[in-house]
Structure 1
């Protein structure tokens, strides 16, 4: 929540400068290099390629088929964070190439529920679980950026490719004994955090595209942007799918589907010209 507020305040501040900057200044960025730091939040969504389950549905259990399926949480329910470095080179005033290596933690969650009936003793049992997966790794996007203006306040679009390399993955299951399509993480019981790393493929690659705006000053520039990424490769290791590295497969009937991951990030970047003595000349008053 604190990060959300900071980003909102900075957005308002940058927008408040835009009118004045558009009228008074132009920014000459050709052949300029910027280095900086970046960080923010991200949200993930799973695209299921193929379903997998440990239990086989039988005609006798057809009335509870929906309870055996995984219910994936929507994009903004799966939060993560990232931080890293920024590098850009402008080969034209409005065109530049951007490299943003970062360390990213993303997550995706799904819900499962199971119920059994003991026809001999007349007893019923049910359990509902929220499976939380956290994936961490190095993200390497290479983007081409096009600015709409050469003013001090400059909106832009960018797009390109990225590669991602897994570092580690963790999993936690939250559970209660009431099947009501809701597991409150604050009150539910939970397992310990288990190592999921061997279940996740080591690398991925895909496409990235985004929008943002930058405010240029003499000694620095600050950007707020959002990027969408889609990974081409499925993230679950098929060879280790049924290996019980976490200890959850038998006890909690857990096996992951095969899926691809989509990611939306919001990030703030603070960048500096490599040679500050040159930067004094980048802002020039417009004659118009």
Structure 2
């Protein structure tokens, strides 16, 4: 009988040891449950980051305006000729982003410095002696700063480390400041010979010549590259399509120095092509050693 009780006691101790070991090890179901929780967590993420880069500007003329009006030739010959996408500007963006199942909803406050230029030409001719004439050439460069508030929706096309995306959105722009430079040159053949000249450039503050705000639409593409330390690198291309006038109609002729050299701003819509590089940092983590990015 003693041997029986001793054997039973040994069996109970062994069973208790096995039960304790099984509690320490997670079952496959427990692992699957944890993985599902992790994947569910990864479906949502907040990101905060910065980006910056260069931009090029194009303007679309809505209505032409001028101070001088020719009387002996067609006015179209003296019309402004705009040089689009040839002067480099700059921008800097703070990006706050929410990600949910391939879609990203982003607020991107941006400081944008834009540049564009145009030229025009006027000609005066003596009515009696055609060889007596003066040709005036105007070169104008505009620099304008805006604070943009874009709301952007992105669609990420893959779940891999390299994630291309498409984007679309709307923005409101608020004027911060502006300057305008005018250079006048020409050829004078009315003073007994042919004399070429170039006046000193005029640079003036032109903030009041631009509208206080304008709005537009945007679209573009880019990609994220997921690093192993919970950071995303970002390459981004956006085209911003201006939908309202960027020029102040009531202040068109308010600057005496510009009016004195025969310049008046046209009504313009302004488009902008921007290229940016940046990085984003996640704001939600499962635990200190867990990568909040997709682990593929």
- TM-score bucket of the superposed structures, by smaller chain: 0.7 to 0.9
**Preserved contact between residue 95 and residue 144 of structure 1 (Cα < 8 Å):** yes
Secondary structure of 2:250 counterpart: helix
Secondary structure of 2:61 counterpart: strand
Distance 1:283 1:259 in 2: 44
Q: Radius of gyration: which is bigger?
A: 2
Distance 1:45 1:210 in 2: 16
Distance 1:190 1:41 in 2: 29
RMSD: 2.4
The size of the alignment, in residue pairs, is 246
Q: What is the 5 A alignment of 1:1-288? A: 29-58=42-71, 60-62=72-74, 65-74=75-84, 76-92=85-101, 94-119=102-127, 123-177=132-186, 190-217=200-227, 218-245=229-256, 247-250=257-260, 252-275=261-284, 280-283=290-293, 285-286=295-296
User: Could you say if the C-alpha distance between residues 69 and 77 of structure 1 is closer, same or farther in structure 2, counting changes exceeding 3 Å?
Assistant: same
User: Could you say if the C-alpha distance between residues 79 and 190 of structure 1 is closer, same or farther in structure 2, counting changes exceeding 3 Å?
Assistant: farther
**Preserved contact between residue 160 and residue 294 of structure 2 (Cα < 8 Å):** no
**1:27-64 CA deviation, whole Å, 9 max, x = no partner?**
x8522111111101111111111111112232x223xx
Distance 1:279 1:143 in 2: 31
**Preserved contact between residue 168 and residue 196 of structure 1 (Cα < 8 Å):** yes
Moved over 4 A (4+): 119-122, 275-279, 283-286
Distance 1:100 1:77 in 2: 25
If asked which structure has higher relative contact order (CA below 8 Å, sep 6+), I would say 1
**1:42-98 CA deviation, whole Å, 9 max, x = no partner?**
11111111111112232x223xx4441000112x21321001211111122x11101
Q: 1:215 offset after TM fit, Å? A: 0.1
Structure 2 residue ranges without an equivalent (≥5): 1-38, 189-197
TM-score, normalising length: structure 2: 0.76
**Preserved contact between residue 84 and residue 101 of structure 1 (Cα < 8 Å):** yes
TM-score, normalising length: structure 1: 0.78
